[in-house]
Amino acid sequence: MCSVGRPLAARTGVLRDSRRVVTSQLQQSGFLMSPPSDISLRSGTGGGKVLQRFPEKDWDDCPFTTGLELFCQPTGWSLSSQQQQPVFYVAVLTDIDADRHYCACFTFHETIAMTPTKPDDADADDHDSTLIHHSLMYAPKSLNCLGIIYTVYMENIQVQIETLIGNILGCIQVPPSGGPQVRFSIGAGDRQALQPPLSSTLPISHDSVALFFDQMGINNAITILCAALTDHKILFYSDSYSRLTAACRALIALHYPLKYSYVYIPILPSALLEVLNTPTPFIAGVHASLVSQVVDLLDVILVDLDGGDIRIPECVKIPPIPEPMLSRAKRCLNMILLPDLLSADYAFPPSPRKLSPYLQRDKEIRAVFIRMFAELFAGYRTCLTIIRIHPDPFITFHKASFLGHRGMVEDDFAVRVLGGMAFSAFVAERGPPYRVCDIFDEVYATMPEQLHLEQSDHEKVAENIKDLAHQLYLN
């Protein structure tokens, strides 16, 4: 039985010099992953190990995350008899303090020459593995680094990697939120720009929310959001790692102005599936090939991103958004995603409306839910009590008073949302009267007047949504 024992770049003779350069220099910008000696020729599977890392020793404020190799190949490291396309995705790690760390993984396959052997105990007619019939195999390597590193490598730009890494680490300062745009070059004949968001409190969604609604549909997407807001366990599965990350990011963006505070693992490796047995809520994702190992979880909502389907266990009850907010939100979403629906029955329908550009549609969908939260939380500030005995003011929220004034005492959705950790953090962050305001504060202040002016006026509703979406787009 043959195995790969040493780093592949040092062992195989078919690698080009440029790839050796990347292998030797990435220790300055991230880490290099490679299959270790336990990938066997017969099974074609095994684990991974870190070959190089930067910094070489842990920093006190930023220790190296153990088990990182699991996220580089979530379904396990394996050999392939065919050349595979390079892939890129971003995994998110949640530490014990609920802080998130982002792991950008670029994986390519390189050839390794191997001599096929057959174990002595193997049957002559054993065909359970086709890998033993090939003398040239393709082994995966994962590079966690800035995008420009592998972009330069893939395009074969004649520039030393040392120069690029030195410029990135020593010459570029990332501006804070609300800061000016920074233009720079890393020395590869390129022109780069960093534009920080205008507000640090607004999540960045790109087009993930629009993609999420395209995949799941309006009703399913709202059901998933309600499940997350009421502290249920949600597990996405898909054949695409990047789609898993995008769906989880979309769900987090739809929470705004709330912040999800539980376990958040968009790409969960197969070796860590036992995490799904935790009693606490989570938002997680697994590759579709692993779904057979998680279908028996009793209290986990399974979401098929590729098929647009949801499996809700019998023991799980998801309370809906209270009326009239739910109907109003669905009507607004229909205006965005199905613009011809309102005029479908007209005897003389107007000219077909075009869908908004994808990025604009993403922000319009988010605007609908920001308005919904502003309506749901209307009057919450009148139920805040500030205690100034301590050096730092302590803010409490009188939930019973709020529910009583709004007539929501028996509404399960409102009771769960207002009693959750996300709303407690919302009160602590937005309760103080003197602080920097953001988009939600502006919408909250004007929402009652807008609802009064929008009565049965679809054009006015669409106009207000587009105005709010434009502010999100500018961020």
Q: What's the pLDDT score for residue 345?
A: 75
Among the listed residues 259, 264, 199, 228, the one whose alpha carbon sits nearest the alpha carbon of residue 427: 259
Q: How far apart are CA 229 and CA 418, in angstroms?
A: 10
Which of the listed ranges 13-17, 90-94, 154-158, 410-414 does the model predict with the highest average pLDDT? 410-414
In this prediction, residue 432 has a pLDDT band, given cuts at 50, 70 and 90, of confident
pLDDT of residue 360: 92
The pLDDT of residue 33: 57
Most confident stretch, 66-75, 121-130, 153-162, 284-293: 284-293
Which amino acid is it at 302?
A: L
Per-residue model confidence (pLDDT) at position 47: 66
Residue 374 binned pLDDT confidence (cut-offs 50, 70, 90): very high
Confidence of residue 104 (pLDDT cuts 50, 70, 90): confident
Sign of CA dihedral 229, 371, 309, 247: negative
Of these ranges, 17-21, 313-317, 391-395, 454-458, the one predicted with the greatest mean pLDDT is 313-317
Highest mean pLDDT among 2-11, 28-37, 414-423: 414-423
Which pLDDT score is estimated for 437? Answer: 87
Domains of the chain: 8-156 (no CATH), 208-311 (3.40.50.11500), 325-474 (no CATH)
Q: Name the pTM for this structure.
A: 0.79
pLDDT of residue 35: 53
Pick from 81-95, 164-178, 431-445 the range whose average pLDDT is largest.
431-445
Range from 13-27, 247-261, 335-349 carrying the lowest mean pLDDT: 13-27
Confidence of residue 113 (pLDDT cuts 50, 70, 90): low
pLDDT, average across residues 137-150: 53
Average pLDDT over residues 419-440: 90
